[in-house]
Chain A
């Protein structure tokens, strides 16, 4: 968080700079089966963010030392394309990507029925092609759809979304300016049916009351995004004809 509470991000009429209300999401589209080489795939646009996810497997896990006798391992990679941000990102090792890959894998392991495929590996490749704040939420949400497209058994879907605080006001789904100059960011990953939390991060400054409101906004958004996940999966299955 930049933490510059003094940059004006909410107009006098209560609208945000891009015209959204406090609890409004940026426009979202979800498309299934977009990468022919993958077993399952998803393309998600969220505001200006673009994420494409490919799922491969389950397959025999190599090298052998990563095999688990009782379950499948999820091999998740979150990667930002070099041209995805305003300053070019050098390809290669990146601490931020490693951390996001790790928490994403753990969130997805909470929904994938990994115990059905002992000794095997499921590869989830999240590529961020264009980034504008909230890429991890976009990646996780798209990954859940790609896993469903790949036919990987899961006990629920997973939706990730973030709420935050700008100008001392709690808002849903920070865009780039709001993220840069905001005071808090609370990304969560929620199982849309059971409403349980599979992913949680936060940085910045929130009072207990603000946290509660932020979670309320997040929960409401989960239902909206889940609806789009359902539509995308079902329409691909129908082959575009209903």
Chain B
């Protein structure tokens, strides 16, 4: 089935689908340039923006980029660094020198141990996908209150909404402080009732019957947002 898609409207594609490119647009993320033209590499929507044709994948793993705000949890430690699970295929490390504390070699347990969550910023990603994070910066900190929920890195944009409109509504409704990280985890702080309200809303994404927001979960979420 070599469907050839044309026009500027959103098109749903699966890997291997040809994408017509009469406008001579550049191939962006999720699009492969081959001798026969452009090919989609993931299930998702083809979009155009500023001369670039790209794919908004329905499901994709979190790929860290420098500058990203992420919520990670410590899954191992050495004498001078913490290793974090940040949800993607690669573990991230936080060297002692980039922590907010004045730690001594071997004294890391005093500040953060295995199983702790922290709000971090990705400092650097090397060509081997080695990820270095920092905890020096405004708001970056160890998370010791509230809850962390996983909504998936594909859902963060929807969850926040245009100019933060959805997030604003959710915050007002629940009275919670909510931090949405780029790796698809959210940190919620507030009353038990508020937290449970946020959990119910995030469940449109986290407990959906697909590992990605499909049209149904998006519709349900948007309806909920209308209600608020």
Interface residues of A (CB under 8 A from B): 32-33, 36, 38-40, 57-60, 69, 72, 111, 113, 117-120, 148-157, 191-194, 223, 226-227, 229-230, 233-234, 236-241
Contact of A223 among B1, B12, B34 (CB under 8 A): B1
- Taking A151-B43, A152-B42, A153-B60 as known contacts, 7 extra A-B pairs with beta carbons closer than 8 A to each other, sorted by chain A number, are A57-B89, A117-B129, A120-B129, A151-B57, A154-B41, A191-B16, A241-B219
Known contacts A119-B128, A155-B32: does B216 contact A240 (CB below 8 Å)?
Answer: yes
Q: Does B184 have its Cβ within 8 Å of any Cβ on chain A?
A: no
| Interchain CB contact under 8 A, B15 and A157 | yes
Contact of A151 among B32, B58, B216 (CB under 8 A): B58
Contact of B43 among A156, A227, A233 (CB under 8 A): A233
How far in angstroms is the closest Cβ of chain B from A152? 8
Residues of B within 8 A of A (CB-CB), count: 38
Contact of A239 among B34, B60, B214 (CB under 8 A): B214
Q: Does B210 have its Cβ within 8 Å of any Cβ on chain A?
A: yes
Q: Does B91 have its Cβ within 8 Å of any Cβ on chain A?
A: yes
| Interchain CB contact under 8 A, B214 and A237 | yes
Contact of B42 among A59, A151, A193, A194 (CB under 8 A): A151
Closest 3 CB pairs of A and B: A239-B216, A151-B59, A156-B16
Q: Does B212 have its Cβ within 8 Å of any Cβ on chain A?
A: yes
Most A CB contacts (10 A, CB to CB) among B36, B216, B219 go to B216
Chain B residues 78-98 with CB under 8 Å of chain A are 88-91
Contact of B210 among A33, A111, A227 (CB under 8 A): A33
Q: How far is the CA of A148 from the CA of B42 in the complex (A)?
A: 6
Q: How far is the CA of A90 from the CA of B33 in the complex (A)?
A: 47
Q: Does B185 have its Cβ within 8 Å of any Cβ on chain A?
A: no
Contacts of A32 in B (CB 8 A): 210
Contacts of A153 in B (CB 8 A): 15, 30, 41-42, 60
Of all chain A residues, the one with the shortest Cβ separation from B91 is A60
Chain B residues 10-56 with CB under 8 Å of chain A are 12, 14-18, 30, 32, 34, 36, 39, 41-44
Q: How far is the CA of A226 from the CA of B1 in the complex (A)?
A: 7
Most A CB contacts (10 A, CB to CB) among B57, B209, B217 go to B209
How far in angstroms is the closest Cβ of chain B from A212? 23
SS class of chain A's interface: helix, strand, loop or mixed? loop
Of all chain A residues, the one with the shortest Cβ separation from B216 is A239
Contacts of B215 in A (CB 8 A): 237-239, 241
Q: Does B146 have its Cβ within 8 Å of any Cβ on chain A?
A: no
Known contacts A118-B128, A151-B43, A153-B15: does B209 contact A36 (CB below 8 Å)?
Answer: yes
Q: Does B200 have its Cβ within 8 Å of any Cβ on chain A?
A: no
9 contacts between A and B (CB under 8 A): A38-B211, A58-B61, A111-B15, A148-B15, A150-B59, A153-B15, A155-B34, A237-B210, A239-B215
Known contacts A57-B89, A117-B89, A150-B59: does B214 contact A234 (CB below 8 Å)?
Answer: no
Contact of B89 among A58, A149, A226 (CB under 8 A): A58
Contact of A237 among B1, B2, B12, B88 (CB under 8 A): B12
| Interchain CB contact under 8 A, A236 and B210 | yes
How far in angstroms is the closest Cβ of chain A from B18? 7
Of all chain A residues, the one with the shortest Cβ separation from B88 is A58
Q: How far is the CA of A72 from the CA of B43 in the complex (A)?
A: 20
| Interchain CB contact under 8 A, B14 and A157 | yes
Known contacts A149-B43, A237-B214: does B89 contact A154 (CB below 8 Å)?
Answer: no
Contact of B15 among A59, A156, A239, A240 (CB under 8 A): A156
Q: How far is the CA of A157 from the CA of B209 in the complex (A)?
A: 23
Contact of A119 among B57, B58, B129, B211 (CB under 8 A): B129
Q: How far is the CA of A229 from the CA of B154 in the complex (A)?
A: 23
Contacts of B211 in A (CB 8 A): 33, 38-40, 149-151
Most A CB contacts (10 A, CB to CB) among B1, B17, B88, B216 go to B1
How far in angstroms is the closest Cβ of chain A from B38? 12
